[in-house]
Structure 1
Amino acid sequence: MTSFQVGHGLACLTILLSLSAASIGQNPSEAQSPVPGSAIHVTQVLGFEGAKHNATGELKIQGGVMQFQHDGSTAAQVSISSIQDIFVEKGDKQVGGTAMTLGKAAAPYGGGRVVSLFAHKKYDFLTVEYLDNSGGFHGAIFQLEKGQGETFKKALVANGAHITPPVGQTPTQSTLEVKNENK
């Protein structure tokens, strides 16, 4: 085989890997809306009392509490009225494992960087700050599918969770106040 044929074959392999990585990163069930009583699949990264770190399970709102249940174990829960603040951040993780890493290394002419563009999956990270029964301040971080973080935050607020406005955000003046200032 000539070097041209080998290079051409590796280029085709790179394109094939990038297309398969793009299909891995897509999720057709993005932005499911959490309705009170329905559960969404999450990873509890850390901080929720009574739950292991990096445990996957179901997070739901039911009867004035937010519950996290891992594989049929006893549900860890916190009263929604004790939630002090909620934050939603967007993040991503590389997918594909060892096979994707080897494919990126084998791609000629820096093609591994192109494969890396398609080898990421996007997530929402939901951080909940709450008070326990004895008044202790705690925080928990959950990893949700892309689009579910804001929806779950809105559901918590609708069920009585407290949130503070972002720092530096001043209340807007009413139009009546603005008219009086211009005189």
Structure 2
Amino acid sequence: MRYLSGAPFVLILHASLCVPTHLSAATIQVVSQDHAVLATVATWKSAKAEHVYGLPDMKPNKKGTLTLSGDALTFTGKSGNTSIQRSAVTAVSAGNQRVEIWGIGGRLLRMTIPDGGGVAAAAVMHHRVDMLTVEFTDSSGGYHAAVFLLPAKEADRALESFVLTPVPPRKLSDTVCRNAPIEPKSVLVSAPNWDQAEVPAAYRALVYEHLIDRIQSTKEVAHVYRGGEDNGQGACPQYKVHLSIATFKEGSSVKRAALGPAGMFVGTTQMKFDVTFTDSSGRLNTSEQITATMRGESESTNVADHVAKSIAKHYATVLKNADKSNSAKNTVNPAS
């Protein structure tokens, strides 16, 4: 009796799957709403969307329906729905990534396939999903970004619909602090500087949103201001966190899969940031370099949260040292 070897078995099992070409960061499409060509109103809908991160009042990794109308972009899940007003959207980006159909189980299966069959299996055990990144502002002018996973090619259709949907006029503002009272224990996380490396929109969005949430959960932080946010009370944040990308290297899950066990050590996603912490008094001005390396099925999310966690930890240390320094000065020079 003859048995099918591992590679033919997997190839037959997945014969109906196609493997599209992977797009690099350089090929990611972006539609800026300031330059959109306005035409007739269009409606777009994806019934198989997944909210990855960033949408207010919606938990991460929830599946549902994403709908674009002339008034809003709405995500509807089992627990409810959340909308972004069309006038608040500032940019939309589409890119794609490959994900492994069977996840960890698929990797273990390939390791057991003899005669190099795991390499052939890797070619058919991945499928493409689209990533849609939506950048927008809230009612206070604060910058936000949300990332969604969509079936292949649907993000491109979403971009076309955004271009065809009229954009109501909007007013953009930035926070300006001059001779204003300082809000204790508040921090401004300004928009990162991405000029030194070409980083996909989804990574940029996830780094910023994870950083906001991580710092907000830090002890002794009363309020986190977003870039562009105005609280309407004329107060200024006590601290400021600014990060600038130094290097970025996007990993490849397909390359790692094709190399089997050895692939766990290559094709990883790497990010390096220069981070600066300052305060309103001008006495605090310290810089750190944060590096993150990540591999796995959800690299963009994992590496973003790893960066955010590291920065938040450094920020907590900076605050602690600043408090000690201020206490020491007050002890040496007590108020008269």
TM-score between the two structures when normalised by the length of structure 2: 0.40
SS at match of 2:65: strand
CA offsets, 1:7-29, max 9 Å, x none? x6352x42112221343668xxx
Q: Corresponding residue for 2:85?
A: 79
- Which residue does the alignment assign to 2:316? none
Question: Residue 56 of structure 2: SS of its match in structure 1?
Answer: coil
Deviations 1:35-90 (A, max 9, x none): 6274432111100111111111110023511100111x321001112110111111
From 48, 54, 59, the counterpart of 1:47: 54
- Is 1:144 aligned to residue 150 of structure 2? yes
Q: Tell me, what secondary structure is at the counterpart of 2:58?
A: coil
1:16 aligns with 2:23: no
Q: Distance in 1 between the 2:45 and 2:93 partners?
A: 21
Whether the aligned pair in 1 keeps the contact of 2:46 and 2:150 (CA below 8 Å) is: no
Say whether residues 1:130 and 2:136 are aligned partners.
yes
Q: State the match for 2:73 in structure 1.
A: 66
Distance 1:55 1:23 in 2: 28
Per-residue deviation at 1:106?
Answer: 2.1
Question: Segments of 4+ in structure 1 off by > 4 A?
Answer: none
Q: Which has the higher contact order (CA 8 A, sep 6+)?
A: 1
Is the CA contact (8 Å cut-off) linking 2:43 and 2:69 kept in structure 1?
yes
> Which of 71, 96, 111 is the aligned partner of 2:102?
96
Aligned to 1:107: 113
Q: Which runs of 5+ in 1 are unaligned?
A: 27-34, 168-183
**C-alpha separation between the residues in 2 aligned to 1:99 and 1:47?**
29
State the distance in 2 between where 1:87 and 1:38 align: 16
Aligned identity (percent) is 23
How big is the shift at 1:161? 4.8
Write the letter of the residue equivalent to 1:9.
Y
Q: Structure 2 CA distance, aligned partners of 1:98 and 1:82? A: 39
Could you tell me which amino acid in structure 1 is paired with residue 59 of structure 2?
A: K
> What CA distance in whole angstroms lies between the structure 2 residues aligned with 1:82 and 1:56?
23
The CA deviation at 1:101 is 3.1
The alignment partner of 2:114 has SS state of coil
CA distance in 1, matches of 2:13, 2:4: 15
1:98-119 Cα distance to aligned partner (Å, 9 max, x none): 5533431221121111101100
**Contact between 2:49 and 2:151, CA under 8 Å: does it hold in 1?**
yes
CA contact (8 A) 1:124 1:146 kept: yes
Structure 2 counterpart of 1:96, one-letter code: W
- Change in CA separation of 1:139 and 1:22 when aligned onto 2, cut-off 3 Å: farther
Displacement of 1:95 in angstroms is 0.9
The 8 Å contact of residues 125 and 143 in structure 1, kept in 2 or not, is answered as yes
Question: RMSD in angstroms over aligned alpha carbons?
Answer: 2.5
Write out aligned runs for 1:163-174 (5 A): none
Decide whether the 8 Å contact of 2:70 with 2:166 is kept in 1.
no
TM-score normalised by length of structure 1: 0.70
> Aligned equivalents of 1:128 and 1:48: distance in 2?
9
**CA separation of 1:47/1:129 partners in 2, compared to 1, >3 Å: closer, same or farther?**
same
The secondary structure found in structure 1 opposite 2:14 is helix
Q: Distance in 1 between matches of 2:58 and 2:71?
A: 19
Q: Which amino acid aligns with 1:148?
A: E
Structure 2: gaps of 5 or more residues = 20-41, 169-194, 196-336
Q: Which residue of 2 aligns with 1:172?
A: none
Q: Secondary structure at the match of 1:9?
A: coil
